[in-house]
Amino acid sequence: MKKIGYLGPRGTFTEAALRTLAAADDAELVPYATVTMALDAARAGDVDAALVPLENSVEGSVSQTLDELASGDPLVIIDEAAVQVEFSLMARPGTTLEDVRLITTHPHAHAQCRNWLATAVPDARVVPALSTAAAAEEVSDPASRFDAAISAAIAAEHYGLDVLAHGIGDNSFAKTRFVLVTRPTAPPAMTGADLTTLSLFIHDSHPGALLEILTELSVRGVNLTRLESRPTQKQLGNYYFSVDLEGHITESRVGEAMRGLHRVCAEVRYLGSYPRHDGAMPTVRQGVSDEDFSDASSWLKDLREKGIS
């Protein structure tokens, strides 16, 4: 039986995301206290894969995921998942909304439910917790001083709580993205709606470096869907870039762009090609399809041999 690690504890959005993946169906799901621990378990082979947040998380730290993937023993992403971040107010059975005076939750969750809280329970006070799941767990203790927790609906199931209000977040578009990583392996087959994730380390931090990187991509018609500059941990004022590209490493435009990046960067760390969770197909502009690349190669070959094509 397969084992898949994830950022715990039980009842987090990460667990909810993991349950949307086919890989989780007949696997043993193992929670880890931190992103680092989950990734180390994948590196060590204690689990076959691990799911961690990569973007816009209300749990764990996305920066930490990025930095962990960019250094240490290599890992590659083989799948991604996303869940709508829907917050629920939950309490021990018997508690009603009117009873709620003291709430606990993670500060991000608190920030995202401010409007609802101000209207529905204007007199309640909110105390920070380590995670939304930890808040639910705390409230599930009959001796707890807290009346309610703000957490994912899945946490109510896990900790035997009743949901007093669903969908209390201010932003109905909030979505968190997670990636399933494993030890290096050939990428899953291209689906046509794929992403490729890279960490790009530049030679010195010269002003034009990022423009240079973006130009390598745009010349081959490769679009970015995420870009972050992150300080390297080796030297002050030194940055690397974490990027997601539209397309699969086996596609010509992605391959040529990656070769270009390899030539201009100090180091390119490949973090995998994998299907998008939303199946959104990329816009591929004129001239950068695999057929266009193949035509251009035949043309050049003829010219080199005969001076005409």
Sign of the torsion formed by the C-alpha atoms of 301, 303, 307 and 309:
positive
CB of 64 to a second copy, least distance (A): 6
CB atoms within 10 A of CB 26: 8
When binding is defined by CB under 8 A, the residue of 41, 70, 76, 195 that contacts a second copy is 76
- Write the binding mask 187 to 206 for a second copy: x where contact by CB under 8 A, - elsewhere: x---------------x---
Exposed / middle / buried, residue 30 (Cβ in 10 Å: 0-12, 13-18, 19+)? middle
Residues 17-36 touching a second copy, rule: CB under 8 A, are 33-36
Longest dimension (CA), the chain: 86
Cα separations (Å) of 293 from 157, 218, 221?
Answer: 52, 15, 12
- Residues in the interface with a second copy (CB under 8 A) total 87
Q: Are 21 and 182 in contact (CB under 8 A)?
A: no
Residues in the chain: 309
Residue list 231-290, contact with a second copy (CB under 8 A): 231, 233-237, 239, 249-250, 255-256, 258-260, 262-264, 270, 272, 280, 283, 286-288
The tokens for 130 are 């380590």
Q: How far is the CB of 261 from a second copy (least distance, A)?
A: 9
Among 5, 60, 247, 275, the residue binding a second copy under the rule CB under 8 A is: 60
Residue placing its CB nearer to a second copy in the complex, 4 or 66: 66
State the minimum distance, in angstroms, from the CB of residue 134 to a second copy: 8
Tokens of 257: 């762009």
What residues contact residue 178 under an 8 Å CB cut-off, 6+ apart? 14, 17, 18, 51, 52, 53, 54, 80, 81, 82, 83
Spell out, one character per residue from 141 to 170, where the chain touches a second copy: x when CB under 8 A holds, - when not: ------------------------------
In this structure, how many other beta carbons lie within 10 angstroms of the beta carbon of residue 106? 22
Options 15-23, 92-100, 151-159, 184-192: segment touching a second copy (CB under 8 A): 184-192
Among 94, 142, 185, 204, binds a second copy (CB under 8 A): 185
Q: Determine which residue in the list 3, 56, 97, 157 makes contact with a second copy, applying CB under 8 A.
A: 56
Q: Which is nearer to a second copy, 166 or 266 (CB)?
A: 266
User: 């539209």: which residue's tokens?
Assistant: 246
Q: Does residue 128 belong to the site contacting a second copy (CB under 8 A)?
A: yes
* Residue 96 CB, nearest approach to a second copy (Å): 26
Residues 211-230 that bind a second copy (CB under 8 A): 211, 214-216, 218-219, 223-230
Distances (CA, A) of 202 to 222, 233, 237, 239, 241: 19, 14, 12, 8, 8
Is residue 233 within 8 A of residue 156, CB to CB? The reply is no
